[in-house]
Structure 1
């Protein structure tokens, strides 16, 4: 395995690549057309009658939460009445299903927004929620590769991805421009809502304009929402909503957080869970273990949902099942419920939780604050995909399908092995 040398990746726990092979470099998302995502829906979910209208949403260069708020505004409804099965990238062309409560197809057809196409499909008796999809299809172009042996590198990495790469949560899980999502989640878990707001609104990053950095820095230092509210650009509506609440209700930091859409609020905590998973997976590699080499204590997840624990007596059989694609080693993403058994991930996770002073009880309190269950779950450590690739001069076109919750940028990262800023 090869270690990443990029500070941002290392800070987010993504410290390894699957192989020692050199990457192809290049640039991802030079245009939205270079990153196309199509959702594979659960077409039968919710039946064909009921108060929820299922629609296809095709958008170009829109962040999902902002798109939902604009659609809700045009419909004259709360954005809380709109549900979706999966979040999608901003700098991309994406197509997915959403559910809207108690609207007619005629009202939806009257919604017109630039770079958004919204089309009714059918009614259903329940809303869509995260995970209600079969997977996603990707068509991706990596441009401007300067390596002389491009074809051979693409072939070698394609074989690596087919065998499996670390199933890290990708950079966009934490915020591509400002990777603060997990940090906000950590403060929520600690119950320090003031620091959560200060981190989200006031923590500046070099990728932002000097003006925005200055506004954030002043608010972080003074805690005074008035000047920041006047100076923040109008398009930064989440920051402005929180600041407006603090201006009207000084010191009410929990209330300021609740100005955010509920699903965004819940993503903060789940991003911290993702951070812990990334760190624990890299710790596994630090300890000399592999993606497909089971060791006693490992937790196995089978394709049919069955689970098992590796012992010294069944390690050989477990390795055979993994090679044949019947199961995968999984690490525990902590929540208010503790992992069962003696999974190998437990010591690493326990150490990380102790380092950050987070307990299962903190996840329980966050569940009430955010109104989302954070029960903990096992996640496979290996991502595998059959890649169809083609090369045109210095560009590489990739097509593949991934299950829900897996990141295309994790695949692209293995191909590129480049500075993560070239993947935003």
Structure 2
């Protein structure tokens, strides 16, 4: 797996076997955000419309304008909270007091203070309120040019969280990134809309725009002024016409009188362009959430089997991460175009193929890769022994020492074997490298390289490489081999040449195409991490890339030192590690690679990954074949003992990598 790669800790470790059976390696995905698993949208939308009236604040709000009055001048003052903090984003409950499910449904991000630190957060609050104050002044040319810097943010995910958090707390601000530096400034579109409708409506509109909840709508307050409605329609179409569309509907106002109101919705592929006389004609996709338990199956293989049974595409499934094959794994999934009833119908058939489907319920939005809190692992390590060079030591002491060491110091955050296809003759990173070099025919032939086994799938692959007969190979493959069949259909139509193979790769979902490229990037990251530790050890050195803590200090690798995943938008360390990256990419003929494969619509910006990670909630016990052995007992050396270990890991961390550090052996 990682035979020559560096370790972090110095304890001796021990030997043992893992995954003797799937039940020895159980993976349970930790809680998925409630946003994606709610039964319906009705309760969320109802709560949104029933928000209580605003409470008084130290800074007066703009009085509500009647729709028959002309649009107001200037901008409302900024309401400051009792502590002199940020501007109130929405009437009703404050940011900290709001219902947590409602906040989750609206896509609220992590609190700004936890992302920025208190000093920067307070400065941002002051900037926001000062900016709103200047908007209320006539002829203030400075209002549109004011900016506030949040500083450089190397980590792409942190930048995304900050973008979202700023927009949610201050809808009147926008954030932009310039060379990894995050800049905050006023949103001129917000200011313009504030001239047309109330601040509450403007706030709510921009929060609706930012949340992008599929199939959701937003309605302005009743407006009896036709000319004014026309101005609002034109504003939205001019500014957001590619994203939104508007229509006026008859509604009942607060006096129970018929009136007109503008309703806005997103232009989505899932909506029909056809409108009925009474309003929008909906064509909504059905989403069904469920928990998938699989045994001895790859995630993509399981999805292929499900898709074949349901007669849909693998791309109709969404999930948050790839799980081990040689394990029992449990993970939430969402499938599009399939009702809960239809999913329940195939349950018995799937059990015969190593899968169980349960916790089936309606959903309304897909999941995204990486959108999980982490994984919990329950693992049994059997046949415990000493390393050959350490046979005289006490095994119990070696195990205890290893657990304490890794629990205290963590482990090197390598990508695990399932990222590359453990045990396969051709690993996924080799295909990814061929795609990056735009060697399309080579990538196809690597994909169809068979293993040394005599079964229908590998026999079909062997036949294809010998004959290039795509049509004949299609007949030989089982139905659940969806990726192979997608490629072969295109190859049969376009031929096994550069153009035909390019079209074949385009025939599979984008997420699968880029999976192979990411595997190559992961391999390079693993090699870079090992080189970094061999060259400099565990101390921070000049030239390292460091995500600083709030106080600007970092004293060890565990304090946010990162290495880049190769791509076109990353910075490399300015020490020997940076030079290593350039030499390593040159070795693979990628020294001039722009990490954009235009023929396959692949764009690889790159990102940053922590070199070290910690393990959480670690616990373990020893068990003999006859009875449980307590940790106080001695003389384990002559007994057949297994180790039961449980722990939690953050997303994109690998249990096999953590075990490698604990045991000091490769699997």
* TM-score tier (shorter): 0.7 to 0.9
2:376 corresponding residue in structure 1: 137
Quote the offset at 1:176 in angstroms. 1.0
1:377 has 2:621 as partner: no
2:304 corresponding residue in structure 1: 69
When Rg is computed on C-alpha atoms for both structures, the one with the higher figure is: 2
1:413 maps to which of 660, 664, 667: 660
1:242 has 2:474 as partner: no
Partner of 1:176, secondary structure, is: coil
Deviation readout 1:181-213 (Å, 9 max, x if unpaired):
0010001001111111111212x56xx327888
Give the stretch that moved more between structures: 177-186 or 239-248: 239-248
Instruction: Go from structure 1 to structure 2 and tell me whether the alpha carbon gap of 1:344 and 1:209 turns closer, same or farther (over 3 Å shift).
Output: same
Partner of 1:400, secondary structure, is: strand
Instruction: Go from structure 1 to structure 2 and tell me whether the alpha carbon gap of 1:60 and 1:215 turns closer, same or farther (over 3 Å shift).
Output: closer
Give the stretch that moved more between structures: 124-133 or 243-252: 243-252
- Please give the residue correspondences for 1:28-67 in structure 2 after superposition, counting only pairs within 5 Å: 28-46=18-36, 48=38, 49=41, 51-67=286-302
Deviation readout 1:53-105 (Å, 9 max, x if unpaired):
22211111221112112222222322211100011011111111111123321
1:229 corresponding residue in structure 2: 473
1:151 has 2:357 as partner: no
2:597 corresponding residue in structure 1: 365
2:621 maps to which of 378, 386, 390: 390
State how far apart, in whole Å, the 2-side matches of 1:357 and 1:108 are: 47
Task: Tell me, yes or no, if the aligned pair for 2:490 and 2:504 is still in contact at 8 Å.
Answer: yes
Instruction: Give unpaired runs (5+ residues) of structure 1.
Output: 1-7, 309-316
State how far apart, in whole Å, the 1-side matches of 2:486 and 2:652 are: 29
State how far apart, in whole Å, the 1-side matches of 2:581 and 2:299 are: 31
1:264 has 2:512 as partner: yes
Highest RCO, 1 vs 2 (Cα 8 Å, sep ≥ 6)? 1
Quote the offset at 1:264 in angstroms. 2.7
2:582 corresponding residue in structure 1: 350
1:318 has 2:554 as partner: yes
Output the aligned Cα RMSD.
Answer: 3.0
Instruction: Go from structure 1 to structure 2 and tell me whether the alpha carbon gap of 1:235 and 1:150 turns closer, same or farther (over 3 Å shift).
Output: farther
State how far apart, in whole Å, the 2-side matches of 1:118 and 1:160 are: 39
Instruction: Go from structure 1 to structure 2 and tell me whether the alpha carbon gap of 1:187 and 1:223 turns closer, same or farther (over 3 Å shift).
Output: farther
1:185 maps to which of 420, 432, 441: 432
1:336 has 2:326 as partner: no
State how far apart, in whole Å, the 2-side matches of 1:20 and 1:219 are: 49
Instruction: Go from structure 1 to structure 2 and tell me whether the alpha carbon gap of 1:214 and 1:122 turns closer, same or farther (over 3 Å shift).
Output: closer
Quote the offset at 1:273 in angstroms. 0.7
State how far apart, in whole Å, the 1-side matches of 2:563 and 2:476 are: 41
2:543 corresponding residue in structure 1: 297
Instruction: Go from structure 1 to structure 2 and tell me whether the alpha carbon gap of 1:357 and 1:223 turns closer, same or farther (over 3 Å shift).
Output: farther
Give the stretch that moved more between structures: 256-265 or 229-238: 229-238
The alignment covers a number of residue pairs equal to 388
Partner of 1:134, secondary structure, is: coil
Quote the offset at 1:357 in angstroms. 2.0
State how far apart, in whole Å, the 2-side matches of 1:223 and 1:285 are: 47
State how far apart, in whole Å, the 1-side matches of 2:358 and 2:512 are: 24
Give the stretch that moved more between structures: 409-418 or 81-90: 409-418
Give the stretch that moved more between structures: 333-342 or 35-44: 333-342
State how far apart, in whole Å, the 1-side matches of 2:647 and 2:439 are: 42
Task: Tell me, yes or no, if the aligned pair for 2:505 and 2:600 is still in contact at 8 Å.
Answer: no
Task: Tell me, yes or no, if the aligned pair for 1:330 and 1:380 is still in contact at 8 Å.
Answer: yes
State how far apart, in whole Å, the 1-side matches of 2:504 and 2:532 are: 38
Partner of 1:133, secondary structure, is: coil
Deviation readout 1:131-162 (Å, 9 max, x if unpaired):
11100000011111233633222222212322
Instruction: Go from structure 1 to structure 2 and tell me whether the alpha carbon gap of 1:55 and 1:360 turns closer, same or farther (over 3 Å shift).
Output: farther
Deviation readout 1:209-248 (Å, 9 max, x if unpaired):
278888767755x562369828966488244553454344
Partner of 2:385, secondary structure, is: coil
Instruction: Go from structure 1 to structure 2 and tell me whether the alpha carbon gap of 1:409 and 1:249 turns closer, same or farther (over 3 Å shift).
Output: same
Normalising by the residue count of structure 2, what TM-score does the alignment of the two structures yield?
0.53
State how far apart, in whole Å, the 2-side matches of 1:227 and 1:126 are: 37
Task: Tell me, yes or no, if the aligned pair for 1:298 and 1:329 is still in contact at 8 Å.
Answer: yes
Deviation readout 1:292-318 (Å, 9 max, x if unpaired):
x11112122357xx797xxxxxxxx42
State how far apart, in whole Å, the 1-side matches of 2:572 and 2:12 are: 39
1:96 maps to which of 322, 331, 355: 331
State how far apart, in whole Å, the 2-side matches of 1:219 and 1:103 are: 34
Partner of 1:185, secondary structure, is: helix
State how far apart, in whole Å, the 2-side matches of 1:32 and 1:261 are: 29
2:269 corresponding residue in structure 1: none
Quote the offset at 1:262 in angstroms. 3.7
Quote the offset at 1:345 in angstroms. 4.0
State how far apart, in whole Å, the 2-side matches of 1:64 and 1:302 are: 36
1:9 has 2:2 as partner: yes
Quote the offset at 1:406 in angstroms. 0.6
Instruction: Go from structure 1 to structure 2 and tell me whether the alpha carbon gap of 1:261 and 1:412 turns closer, same or farther (over 3 Å shift).
Output: farther
